[in-house]
């Protein structure tokens, strides 16, 4: 894992060269959360999104999550998935940061809650217009997607870039790649919004059937002979 901007794979000829840039959190929350499709083989899946293209690099940008009281094993499941991705020759995992910090935020009262509507005395922690919460933030994935896509474009490593995200913060990078470098950008919005926030030359639908058909085997064997097992919570 790292942030190298160059690839050890020699550039391919023709106009079917493609590279893929995935915002892992955007994909997870937009298409995978609440499904049994989280054990996703990215090579198999993007091959369905770009059939006939020569894909020599898939950049997967994410951050290491931390355990939470409501999900104490979430980091264990993510680690298993990242190790499974390491077995794919074309996948580069680039990590940002996952931050957890206390914050004070406006409270939204529930009409059905006696405490919220103050028909009885509220407890000290939730009395008033603001409450203390534990706020989680993923930092860096959108920036890493943008930097990697622009850098590979300047190095002429692809003719078509597939961006899996609906983060409008990436739009300036997409515009540079299209207008200044003359590259084609295909956008796959994980939520399949009718009016996506991120625009390119073409769109691809993130279809449930393609995700279901692109799962790793339940047991993935590494080059060193170690076995990585699909988390039971993801079956």
152's enclosing H/E stretch is helix 141-154
Alpha-carbon span 138 to 31, nearest angstrom: 17
Same domain, yes or no: 197 and 182: yes
Please check whether residue 57 lies inside any domain of the structure: yes
Phi/psi-derived region of residue 182, left when phi > 0, alpha when psi is between -120 and 50, beta in every other case = left
Domain with 75 in it: what CATH number? 3.40.50.1010
Alpha-carbon span 171 to 113, nearest angstrom: 42
pTM (two decimals): 0.81
Dihedrals phi, psi of 47, to nearest 5 degrees:
-65, -30
Close Cβ partners of 180 (under 8 Å, ≥ 6 residues apart)? none
Question: Could you write out the DSSP letters of every residue in 29-52?
Answer: IIIITTSS--SB-HHHHHHHHSTT
Beta strands in the chain (DSSP E): 17-23, 54-62, 91-95, 97-106, 130-139, 160-164, 184-189, 202-205, 219-221, 227-229
| Contacts by 109-113, CB closer than 8 A, 24 or more apart | none
Do 61 and 96 touch, CB atoms closer than 8 A? yes
More confident residue, 45 or 102: 45
Same domain, yes or no: 209 and 149: yes
195, burial (CB in 10 Å: exposed 0-12, middle 13-18, buried 19+): exposed
Same domain, yes or no: 36 and 48: yes
Alpha-carbon span 97 to 75, nearest angstrom: 13
Same domain, yes or no: 218 and 184: yes
More confident residue, 200 or 4: 200
Same domain, yes or no: 52 and 146: yes
Same domain, yes or no: 222 and 117: no
Q: What is the rounded average pLDDT of the residues 60-64?
A: 94
State yes or no: pLDDT of 167 exceeds 90.
yes
Same domain, yes or no: 40 and 122: no
Close Cβ partners of 207 (under 8 Å, ≥ 6 residues apart)? none
State yes or no: pLDDT of 47 exceeds 60.
yes
State yes or no: pLDDT of 91 exceeds 90.
yes
Same domain, yes or no: 89 and 174: yes
- pLDDT band for position 67 (cuts 50, 70, 90): confident
């Amino acid at each position: 894992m790292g942030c190298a901007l160059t690839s050890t794979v020699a550039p391919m000829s023709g106009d079917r060269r493609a590279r893929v840039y995935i915002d892992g959190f955007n994909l997870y929350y937009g298409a995978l959360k609440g499904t049994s499709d989280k054990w996703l083989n990215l090579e198999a899946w993007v091959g369905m999104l770009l059939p006939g293209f020569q894909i020599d690099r898939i950049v997967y940008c994410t951050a290491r999550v931390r355990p939470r009281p409501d999900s104490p094993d979430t980091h264990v499941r993510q680690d298993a998935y990242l190790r499974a991705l390491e077995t794919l020759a074309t996948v580069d995992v680039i990590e940002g940061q996952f931050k957890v910090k206390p914050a004070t935020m406006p409270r939204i009262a529930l009409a059905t809650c006696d405490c919220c509507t103050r028909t009885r005395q509220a407890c000290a922690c939730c009395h008033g217009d603001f409450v203390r919460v534990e706020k989680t933030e993923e930092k860096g994935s959108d920036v890493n997607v943008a930097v990697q896509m622009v850098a590979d474009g300047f190095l002429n490593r692809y003719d078509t870039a597939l961006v899996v995200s609906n983060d409008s913060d990436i739009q300036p990078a997409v515009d540079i790649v299209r207008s200044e470098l003359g590259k084609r950008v295909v956008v796959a919005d994980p939520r399949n919004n009718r009016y996506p926030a991120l625009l390119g030359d073409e769109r691809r639908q993130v279809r449930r059937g393609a995700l279901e058909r692109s799962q790793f085997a339940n047991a993935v064997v590494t080059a060193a002979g170690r076995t990585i097992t699909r988390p039971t919570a993801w079956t």
